[in-house]
């Protein structure tokens, strides 16, 4: 039996119309010979050069600050409900036989839960806004 010792290789290359469009989609800053900085570098350049204009703009609170405030407010509100039901003052600022005990605990309980929900919604809005800005910078 004869075994053919020659190895034949077949190499197939193809260029499709889709691969041509892929180069068109590539942003101009991604080309190796381009001097244009990427979008995130452009943002850093603007923010460092316009430090005086940022004092005129409103301060944007990051989403995690809203989220932390929401969690603390919810814990305080739920804790005040348990404190009122057990008549056991945790912090000892007001004793349970004080005339101000029920109004203060009631105020914290009834305003704390809606406030924590509001702060939670604000954190979601702030996170969505930051994500949209990042998406714009990425495009």
E-strand spans in the chain? none
Q: What is the pTM of this model?
A: 0.57
Q: What is the CA radius of gyration of the chain?
A: 31
| Residue whose C-alpha is closest to residue 74's, from 101, 109, 102, 104 | 109
pLDDT tens by residue, 57-83: 678 889 999 999 999 999 999 999 998
Of the listed ranges 9-23, 32-46, 119-133, the least confidently predicted one is 9-23
DSSP assigned state of 60: P
Cα–Cα distance for residue pair 98/91, rounded to 1 Å: 14
Residue 119: burial class (beta carbons within 10 Å; 0-12, 13-18, 19+):
buried
Q: What is the pLDDT of residues 5-16, one digit of tens each?
A: 677 777 777 666
| pLDDT given for residue 69 in this prediction | 96
Give the model's confidence band at 90: pLDDT under 50 very low, under 70 low, under 90 confident, else very high: confident
Cα gap 88→96, rounded to integer Å: 7
- In three-state secondary structure terms, 119 is helix
């Amino acid at each position: 039996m004869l075994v053919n010792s020659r190895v034949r290789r077949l190499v197939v290359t193809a260029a499709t119309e889709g691969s041509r469009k892929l180069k068109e989609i590539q942003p101009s800053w991604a080309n190796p010979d381009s001097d244009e900085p990427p979008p995130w570098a452009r943002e850093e350049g603007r923010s460092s050069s316009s430090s005086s204009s940022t004092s005129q703009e409103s301060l944007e609170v990051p989403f995690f600050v809203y989220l932390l405030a929401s969690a603390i407010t919810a814990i305080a509100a739920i804790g005040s409900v348990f404190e009122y039901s057990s008549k056991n003052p945790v912090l000892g600022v007001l004793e349970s036989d004080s005339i101000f005990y029920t109004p203060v605990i009631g105020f914290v309980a009834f305003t704390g839960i809606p406030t924590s929900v509001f702060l939670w919604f604000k954190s979601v809005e702030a996170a969505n806004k930051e994500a949209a800005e990042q998406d714009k910078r990425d495009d």
